[in-house]
Amino acid sequence: MSSEAHAVEAHAGASVATNIAIWIGLVAITFLEVFLAYKDLEPRLMLTILVILSVVKAAMIMSYFMHLKYEKFSLVLLLIPATIFCLCMMFIFFYPEAFRLLQMRPH
């Protein structure tokens, strides 16, 4: 693809039909989450499943509604790895206290 064609695509973004399809997908995942909430799963497993589904929804919103899929890849590299790094740091530094709380949990 030539750079000009790429630039045109970058400004075009997703079509109306694609955006509506993404919206339907987001609503469907929401109803799946509500359905899962009534399955009485163990809280840790439940939270893991819900966070994974939320990350999928976030990726759909960022890629299509926020046009990140159609931006230059350098912007994605600027934003996403830095965010993931900061989130990992949060998990690492919050973890010792959380571990202590888990040990203190009444049985």
Partner 1 sequence: MHDVKTDVALDSAWSGGKSPFAIGSKKLGMWLFIISDTLTFSALLITYSYCRLTNPDWPRPFPIFPAIAFSTTMTVILLASSLTMVMAVMASQRNDRKKTVMWLVATMIGGLLFTGLHLTEWMNMIYKEGFTITGNPEGTPLFGAVFFGITGLHMTHVMIGVIYLGIVAVGYGRGKFSAEDVEVNGLYWHFVDLVWMFVFPMIYLMSVKY
- The CB-of-90 to partner 1 minimum distance in angstroms stands at 5
Does residue 11 bind partner 1 (CB under 8 A)?
yes
Does residue 69 bind partner 1 (CB under 8 A)?
no
Q: How far apart are CA 72 and CA 82, in angstroms?
A: 17
- The CB-of-87 to partner 1 minimum distance in angstroms stands at 6
Cβ-based neighbours of 102, under 8 Å, separated by 6 or more: none
Cβ-based neighbours of 33, under 8 Å, separated by 6 or more: 50, 53
Binding partner 1 (rule: CB under 8 A), the pick from 1, 2, 5, 43 is 43
Can you give the binding site for partner 1, defined by CB under 8 A?
Answer: 3, 7, 10-11, 13, 16, 19-20, 23, 26-27, 30-31, 33-34, 36-38, 40, 43-44, 46-47, 50-51, 53-54, 57-58, 61-62, 65-67, 71-72, 74-75, 78-79, 82-83, 86-87, 90-91, 94, 97-98, 101-102, 104-106
